[in-house]
Amino acid sequence: MRIPRHIAMLPLLAGTVLAGVPAFAADYKIGVSNTVQGNGWREEMICSIKAQALASGKVASLNIAHRNTDAAGQLEDIRNLIGAGVNAIVINPSDPSGINPAIKEATDAGIVVVIVDQGVTEPSAYIVSNNQEEYAYLGAKWLFEQIGGKGDVIYMRGIAGAPGDTDRDTGFKRALAEHPDVKVVHETFTGWQQDQGKQQILDYIATGAPFSGIWTSGIDNVIVDALVESGVDLVPIVGADNAGFVGQLNSVEGLTGVAVTNPGSIGAAGVTLAIQILDGQKPDGMTVLVQPEAWTNTTEEGKAKLAAAADPSLDPEWPVSIMIPDWTTYTKEQIIACKGPGE
């Protein structure tokens, strides 16, 4: 398999077959555990998992635990998947260490565990993740430079304690340390929920307090909507490559912003890696990182990338990066259909 430039991975050791696992079987059972429901990014992730499982031709069934819950609930979900006799489990973790006992139980039982999007500390799990620290750093650095290296910014995070949020906070604060005259005047957790994030920014606007820019953890198009609806001056905004926000960066007059890539299709990459391992291609290393790009509408190069990426046919909350080269083999129609094997 050719590893694309934007992905770093240690070489595969071909021909290594895991004990008790038939090589190149076409009837794998894969479990999925996800703890955020109703968020467009996570919904795309689930659809990418379904589409890749179907497109692979090697997955007989998916067993998906997809609900809003915490580490305790995810522990229960993973243990249920172990009891269901799956061959592999793809997990978007709620906590970096809180689900470690269940992960270890799964790997001790010979089940391949692939963590996607965020990291965990259990060493027996493979990790395929967007580089969340770099995601935050790129966007924050752009924002702080855009406002001239000084000013008051609003910091809109994800879910407190989630590994991705913790990593993003590290990246954000790395950029903040490089710009000592930038001040965070308001910090809030959106829960990665559109309605919640929009209400939070509306509440802050209502205070009348000034601000120079907004960094969001992927809840972005509704923040632009809130500024427009409130009639306040547009400030630079950092968001993700969600279809709605990309469209706004192309069309909303007076809006400056940057979309940092964070493909929800990382879930499909987790399926691909799980199948490779089940087929006997055990990686020499345990971690794969997908490196982000920053697309800004303040440069000609960025405008061209945003224009090329725009896809109004997608749900506004879905990232436009619906595929990852060399890791996904489904079509656009398949991911939008959101159907897995047997559906």
Q: What is the mean pLDDT of the chain?
A: 92
Distance CA 247, CA 309 (A): 9
The confidence band for 6, taking pLDDT boundaries of 50, 70 and 90, is very low
The full DSSP string for 70-118 is -HHHHHHHHHHHHHTT-SEEEEE-SSSSTTHHHHHHHHHTT-EEEEESS
- Whether 2 shows a pLDDT value over 50: the answer reads no
What's the average model confidence in pLDDT over 172-195? 97
The CA-atom distances, in angstroms, between 221 and each of 40, 61, 201, 279, 311 are: 12, 35, 12, 41, 14
Token pair in block for residue 302: 């960025």
Token pair in block for residue 172: 């954000």
- Whether 3 shows a pLDDT value over 80: the answer reads no
The most distant pair of C-alpha atoms in the chain lies apart, rounded to whole Å, by 64
CB atoms < 10 A from the CB of 179, how many? 19
Q: How far does Cα 54 stand from its chain's mean position?
A: 21
Of 72, 60, 5, nearest to 33 by C-alpha is 72
- Whether 199 shows a pLDDT value over 90: the answer reads yes
What is the DSSP code (8-state) at residue 2?
A: P
The residues pairing with 152 across neighbouring beta strands, listed in sequence order, are 183
Per-residue model confidence as pLDDT tens digits over 75-101: 999 999 999 999 999 999 999 999 999
- Whether 20 shows a pLDDT value over 50: the answer reads no
**pTM of the shown model:** 0.86
Distance CA 42, CA 265 (A): 9
Per-residue model confidence as pLDDT tens digits over 244-292: 999 999 999 999 999 999 999 999 999 999 999 999 998 878 998 889 9
257-260 vs 112-116, strand pairing mode? unpaired
Distance CA 281, CA 219 (A): 37
For the segment(s) 132-260, the CATH number from 2.40.30.170, 3.40.50.720, 2.60.120.200, 3.40.50.2300 is 3.40.50.2300
- The beta-carbon contacts of 68-75 under 8 Å, at least 24 apart in sequence, are 68/35, 68/36, 68/37, 68/38, 69/35, 69/94, 70/35, 70/94, 70/95, 70/98, 71/95, 71/98, 71/99, 72/98, 73/35, 74/33, 74/35, 74/98, 74/99, 74/102, 75/99, 75/101, 75/102
- Specify the CATH number of the domain 7-130+263-292+315-337: 3.40.50.2300
Token pair in block for residue 101: 């006992």
Distance CA 255, CA 267 (A): 31
The residues pairing with 64 across neighbouring beta strands, listed in sequence order, are 32
With beta carbons less than 8 A apart as the criterion, state whether 181 and 206 touch.
Answer: no
Through-space distance between the first and last CA atoms of the chain, rounded to whole angstroms: 29
Evaluate the CA torsion angle 29, 319, 132, 303 in order and state its sign.
positive
SS3 category, 325: coil
20: exposed, middle or buried (C-beta count within 10 Å: 0-12, 13-18, 19+)?
exposed
pLDDT at 275: 97
Evaluate the CA torsion angle 159, 190, 70, 39 in order and state its sign.
negative
Distance CA 174, CA 9 (A): 24
CA geometry: angle 343, 314, 238, nearest 5 deg? 130
Where do the CATH 3.40.50.2300 domains begin and end in the chain? 7-130+263-292+315-337, 132-260
Per-residue model confidence as pLDDT tens digits over 46-86: 999 999 999 999 999 999 999 999 999 999 999 999 999 99
Per-residue model confidence as pLDDT tens digits over 29-43: 999 999 999 899 999
The full DSSP string for 127-140 is EEEE-HHHHHHHHH
- Whether 14 shows a pLDDT value over 50: the answer reads no
